[in-house]
Structure formats: C-alpha cells, structure tokens
C-alpha cells in the first residue's frame, strides 16, 4: 500500500488534474503533512472537506477505509456523511449485507459496484445529489425499502416498478414531475412519499397499489 511504500512522504500535491477518486490506501500515509487536492472533479470527496485541509482529508479517508473493511460481520452497512460515491469490489461476505445507508453524501449516481449486494432489503441514499435511479435496481429482488429523498431527481425510472417486493418508497424532496406507469405493479407498497416535488397530475396508476396505506403527494 502507499503507506508502506512511501513511509517518508510528507507533501503530496495532485491539484488541478482530472481525478475523480482516491484509493483508500492513501489513508496509510502516516507522515503526510500537506495534501493538496484542489482543482479536480472529485466524486468521492466533498468540496468543503478539501477546503478544510490535510487533517480532515486523511481522517475522511481513514473513516471510509475502516467502515468498508468493517462490514465483514455486519448485516447493516452505514457510510453516512463521508462523501462516498463508490464501494470497492473487494468487500468480503457481501451476501450478509441486508441494509445499506448512504445518506448525507455527495452521490450523483448509485455506483454499479452496488450490484454485488444481492440480498439487500433496504437501501437509503437520501440527502445526496442523485440525478437518476439506475436501471439495474431490480437486481435487488428482495428490496422492501428504498429512500432517495432530498436529491436532484427529475424523474423516477420505470425500473423502480420492477422491484415487486417494495413496501416503502421515499422519493420526497426532489424535482419529479410524473409518476411512472410501472408503479401499477407495486401491489405490496404500503407507504409512498412523493411530496415536495414538481408533480403536475396524479397518475391513475396510484389506484392499482392495493396495499397502500400512507400516501404523500
């Protein structure tokens, strides 16, 4: 790792490039005193953290590294407020992960690496910068709860209607204008939040959600 191969490194400047991610091994740079990251289109590091300086950046990377490597014996993976936008493919025992919470980060797109968590029943990526819901989402055949509240979604992809086990769906606080017709297949849905959006009309497909008990529009 970098922490072993560069044990004397005190200054690292990778400013003004086109980097979007940093390897978590950079958290092993034990003697780093100056870490300059400005001027890159980072996906994984919030801008305010970069402005905070070297100590905050290294702490962020260590927290992120430790959280990801710590999922071995967990059924819940919580990586909140780390600015995370990706998950390493080498995460062990992914089959035991049933709940993923990635709230309060800077995620624009749900990483495709998440497809490795095939037993997920609850996924929360609220209060991020999501601009779309991936078409591969139905790979989560057991998904019962999905929260994408307070993002930048302008529409809900029809693939959400293919998650037939969904019981709770939170899409409030976005820019959504229409309810997709595929929602007619969500017959197990008991709670739906679509309030604080840009809805123009109520799609009649809502009437097909026969299990619905709580609805916010």
| Residue 20 scores a pLDDT above 80 | no
- Written in H, E and C, the secondary structure of 133-194 is CCCCHHHCCCCCEEECCCCCCCCCCHHHHHCCCCCEEECCCCCCCCCCHHHHHCCCCCEEEC
Q: What is the pLDDT of residue 118?
A: 86
Q: What is the pLDDT of residue 38?
A: 81
Between residues 152 and 19, the one the model is more confident about: 152
| Euclidean distance between CA atoms 29 and 10, whole angstroms | 8
Q: What is the pLDDT of residue 69?
A: 43
* Mean pLDDT score of the chain: 80
Tokens standing for residue 87: 């998950």
> Is-above-0.85 flag for pTM?
no
How would residue 169 be classed by pLDDT, with cut points 50, 70 and 90? very high
How would residue 196 be classed by pLDDT, with cut points 50, 70 and 90? very high
Q: What is the pLDDT of residue 50?
A: 73
Q: What does the pLDDT average to over 23-49?
A: 73
Written as one string, the DSSP assignment of the chain is: -HHHH-TT--EEE--SS------GGGGG-TT--EEE--SS--SSS-HHHHHH-HHHHHHHHHHHHHHHHGGGG-SEEE--SS------TT-S-GGG--EEE--SS--SS--GGGGG-TT-SEEE--SS------TTGGG-TT--EEE--SS--SS--GGGGG-TT--EEE--SS------GGGGG-TT--EEE--SS---S--GGGGG-TT--EEE-
Is the sign of the CA dihedral 117, 136, 200, 211 positive or negative?
A: negative
**Residue 66 exposed, middle or buried by CB count within 10 Å (0-12, 13-18, 19+):** exposed
pLDDT in tens, 95-138: 777 888 888 777 788 877 778 888 899 999 998 889 999 999 99
Q: What is the pLDDT of residue 76?
A: 47
Share of the chain above pLDDT 70, in %: 76
Going by their DSSP bridges, the two strands 122-124 and 76-78 should be labelled as unpaired
pLDDT in tens, 58-105: 777 766 655 544 433 334 454 544 444 444 444 445 677 788 888 877
Q: What is the pLDDT of residue 190?
A: 96
Q: What is the pLDDT of residue 154?
A: 95
Q: What is the pLDDT of residue 89?
A: 45
């Amino acid at each position: 790792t970098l922490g072993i191969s560069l044990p004397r490194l005190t200054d690292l400047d990778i400013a003004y490039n086109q980097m979007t991610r940093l390897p978590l091994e950079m958290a092993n740079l034990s003697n780093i005193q100056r870490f300059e990251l400005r001027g890159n289109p980072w996906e994984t590091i919030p801008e305010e953290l970069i402005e905070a300086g070297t100590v905050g950046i290294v702490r962020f990377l260590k927290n992120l590294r430790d959280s990801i490597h710590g999922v071995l014996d967990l059924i819940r993976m919580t990586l909140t407020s780390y600015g995370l936008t990706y998950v390493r493919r080498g995460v062990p025992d992914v089959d035991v992960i049933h709940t993923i919470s990635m709230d309060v980060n800077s995620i624009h797109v749900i990483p495709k690496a998440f497809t490795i968590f095939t037993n997920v029943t609850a996924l929360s990526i609220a209060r991020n910068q999501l601009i779309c819901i991936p078409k591969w989402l139905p790979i989560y055949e057991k998904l019962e709860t999905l929260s994408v509240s307070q993002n930048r979604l302008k529409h809900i992809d029809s693939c959400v209607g293919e998650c037939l086990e969904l019981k709770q769906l939170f899409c409030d606080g976005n820019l959504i204008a229409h309810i997709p017709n595929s929602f007619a297949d969500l017959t197990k849905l008991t709670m739906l939040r679509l309030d604080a959006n840009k809805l123009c009309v109520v799609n009649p497909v809502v009437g097909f959600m026969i299990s619905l008990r709580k609805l916010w529009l």
